[in-house]
Amino acid sequence: MLVKAVSLDSNSVVDEEVDTDYILYICSNFIIVDHNKLVHFAHLSVQEYLMNGAKHGYSTVDAHNQTAMDSLLYLLASNFKNGTDTGKKDELLELTALYWPFHYSFALVNEGKGTPLQALLKKFLVAGEIRNGFTTRFENLTSCFAELTPSRG
């Protein structure tokens, strides 16, 4: 899933030349993949450098802003066609649909009115076909998680 997310261009088209080996080669000193195939920073100092020490530090708010922007762009481009063309389930689409509001809410900490993120959200919410698709997808994901979550009673 990381490969797909990293290989998407600004039009949400996958660059077929990007694969796991390519990502690990480019980022070899910064990330590791554990036995569960989860990606982590190679060391805490990498994260600290990226957030504080780099010439133009990349804050947590910046990361949430970028993730929210990319998520909304991906959702707009996908039109919520989860596997309808290929027969394969799009896990990235499902996670994006579920978690973009989380990233959006954290991105707004330092945002003012009229930001690119807010303009993109407006485009996303106004697009009737997309909005209806999002509502349906969100309801489907909510019911799936409800089935997986043990009841507290």
Per-residue model confidence as pLDDT tens for the chain (153 residues): 778 888 877 677 778 888 888 988 998 889 998 998 888 999 998 888 877 766 666 788 888 898 898 888 888 887 655 555 566 778 888 888 888 889 988 887 666 666 888 888 888 877 655 555 556 655 555 555 555 445 544
Task: Give helix then strand counts, H and E, for the chain.
Answer: 7, 2
| pLDDT at residue 47, as a whole number | 83
Could you give the CA distance from residue 82 to residue 92 in angstroms, rounded to a whole number? 9
Predicted local confidence at residue 110, as pLDDT: 60
Is residue 141 within 8 A of residue 94, CB to CB? The reply is yes
Whole-number Å distance between alpha carbons of 74 and 123: 13
Q: What is the pLDDT of residue 15?
A: 85
What pTM value is reported for the model? 0.67
> Which token pair is 152?
């507290």
Distance, CA of 68 to CA of 117 (rounded, Å): 7
